[in-house]
Amino acid sequence: MISVALTPVLFVGGYALFLWLSYLDETLTQGSGYGFHIGTSPTEVYRDMLELQERNPNLKIYLVTGEQAGDNATLTISKASFDAALNAKYWMLLLDGDGEFFNVIRLSIAENKLISIHRHRQYFELP
């Protein structure tokens, strides 16, 4: 009888533990991570994005070029999107595809080099 009552508690507790353990939200400003290296040029970052795309075929690049909603664009990784990305404030790589912001890598470029790598992953939606 006790096992029947504890089963839902253990299930919910185990699921909550999984969500907590799988959550990522970190920023790197030195070294390397996720296939990218701080200090590399945008051309080298593009090459690394192509390698990442081989492992994540749904990969899209979300570009933020300004403060207004119309200043954003989601593109497939190509030479044309790379040229557009050079004018963006940062590049957000959507690992699960278009419109999926729960599993991303954000790359910030300044002075023609990669200055930060931000990784965010969550399997739940916050209220």
Chain segment 55-79, per-residue pLDDT in tens: 989 999 888 777 777 777 778 888 7
* 3-state SS record for the chain: CHHHHHHHHHHHHHHHHHHHHHCEEEEECCCEECCEECCCCHHHHHHHHHHHHHHCCCCEEEEECCCCHHHEEEECCCHHHHHHHCCCCEEEEECCCCCCCCEEEEEEEECCEEEEEEEEECCCCCC
Query: Which pLDDT belongs to residue 82?
Result: 79
pLDDT band at 38 (very low <50, low <70, confident <90, very high): very high
How many domains is the chain built from?
Answer: 1
Domain range spanning residue 92? 25-121
- On the question of pLDDT at 127 being above 60, the answer is no
Question: Is 18 within the bounds of a domain?
Answer: no
- 3 is a domain residue: no
Provide the CA 95 distance to its chain's centre, in angstroms: 6
- Tokens matching residue 9: 């508690």
Position 17 pLDDT exceeds 80: no
Q: Per the domain annotation, does 85 fall within a domain? A: yes
Please indicate, yes or no, if residue 52 is contained in any of the structural domains. Answer: yes
Q: Which of 36-50, 74-88, 100-114 has the lowest mean pLDDT?
A: 74-88
pLDDT computed for residue 115 by the predictor:
94
